Amino acid sequence: MTERIIVIGSGPGGYKSAALGAKRGFDVILVEKNTIGGVCTNTGCIPSKALLSVAELADSIKGAGRKGINAAQESIDFSRVMKNKKRAVKISRKGVEKELKESGVEIIRGEAKLNNNKEVEVNGETLEAEHIIIATGSEPVVLPFLKVDEKNILTNKGAIELESIPESMLIIGGGYIGVEMAFFYSSMGTSVTVVELLDSLLPVMDSSLGKEAESMLKRKGVKIITGAKVSSVEGKKPFKAVLEGSQKEELEFEKILCSVGRKPSPPDIDLDIISEKGSVITDDFMKTPVEGVYAVGDVTGKGMLAHTAYKQAKIVIDTIDKKSNRGFSNYLIPAGVFTHPEIASVGFSEEDAKKEYDDVRTASFPISALGRGYSTGERAGLAKLVCKGDEVIGMHLVCPGATDIIMEGTLAMEKGLTVSDVVDTIHPHPTYSEAIKEAADKLINS
């Protein structure tokens, strides 16, 4: 008899697990209580990048005069901007639905409850399976004094659904969501202020990237306040926010976006598999402590990114299908911020590397010193390498296309390449990728 897999959740980890499992010959049921595609397709990756592409275009028009093109941005039709975003979401969702259908996955709409390691209850019906995969994703962390209504007090979900361009916006949190939304709304004409509790933006990345992000946003007129916190928000449109840092101040804003992080969102479970932080506990092969129950994606708390979930989906199906695999911790996870210029990172930051190793060396090369930089007029950006001896253990980029180019660093580190290997590899000219080679050259000649 064909073994059954029940997958709970249809985000990147869920739908990929379901589709791959069905292609391997398993009887797969996918349970989804909301919209197919999860956060990534509906309120995360896809819609935000659609909006950011419009922001980049708007900025290009504003700067066209410097290159001899006399173009004027008369106005922004925000309803059409949002219509374009909705179209991108619809196309992406249809792609997910098509993959599931063509793979032979049965979809059941409803909220799932795990009764035990063999039974899932949905809409009052009990479904049985040999294997259960939890892929219920994550949800925004909301500060306790904020009353989110997704109209004026926003999370990332509400920030991509506004009907008009706000005059002012406070963004609490300078991680990748905060930086991307600051980029978008400042391009639309909003007066944006970003408040970050730690000393730099993008605090989980190499400090050089946070500095580049701050410079980029300041050039767009965004006010950046680091080493400070928002202690309270009062009133109604405009909201009065109290900021506490080097000094205490009260500022007014039309909209407030809370982007201080995300937390795992597990389903209703009668099993002891939830950690103190709310994530589903898994090992390197996506197994929970309970036999036959697995988890993938944001709900595991391990690298809350869509491509992380894709890799975990492959690992969990390999595990169920009894095929060997390396285990999740043996893979590197690149990360990107889709501003202009783009920001991307993989491996160790300089700060973390120096905590771990003694023989850490770093080198950077500015994009402005490249032939491509001269020809395009790109003045901002860099490539930075972090090495343990001669081995490349970290790469950090700020340049157009950085989220694509970072794959050079990911592959180099996956294969254990050295600085010499990077230098010996021919990089096409004139390209932004040459900055990686130039940084490697500096390490060899230092």
Q: What share of the chain is helix, strand, coil (3-state, %, to 5)?
A: 35, 25, 40
- Provide the H-helix boundaries in 124-193: 156-159, 176-188
- State the catalytic residue, choosing from 131, 340, 396, 429: 429
Active site residue 131: no
Residue type at 10 in one-letter notation: S
Contact, 117 vs 102, CB < 8 A?
Answer: no
State the CB neighbour count (10 A cutoff) for residue 108: 16
Comparing CA positions, the residue from 95, 96, 88, 139 lying closest to residue 7 is 96
State the CB neighbour count (10 A cutoff) for residue 358: 7
Alpha-carbon span 263 to 141, nearest angstrom: 6
DSSP for 279-337, written as a single string: PBP--TTSB-SSTTEEE-GGGGTS--SHHHHHHHHHHHHHHHTT-----GGGS---EEE
Comparing CA positions, the residue from 427, 428, 422, 415 lying closest to residue 440 is 422
Query: What 3-state DSSP class applies to 171?
Result: strand
Q: Which residues are catalytic?
A: 429
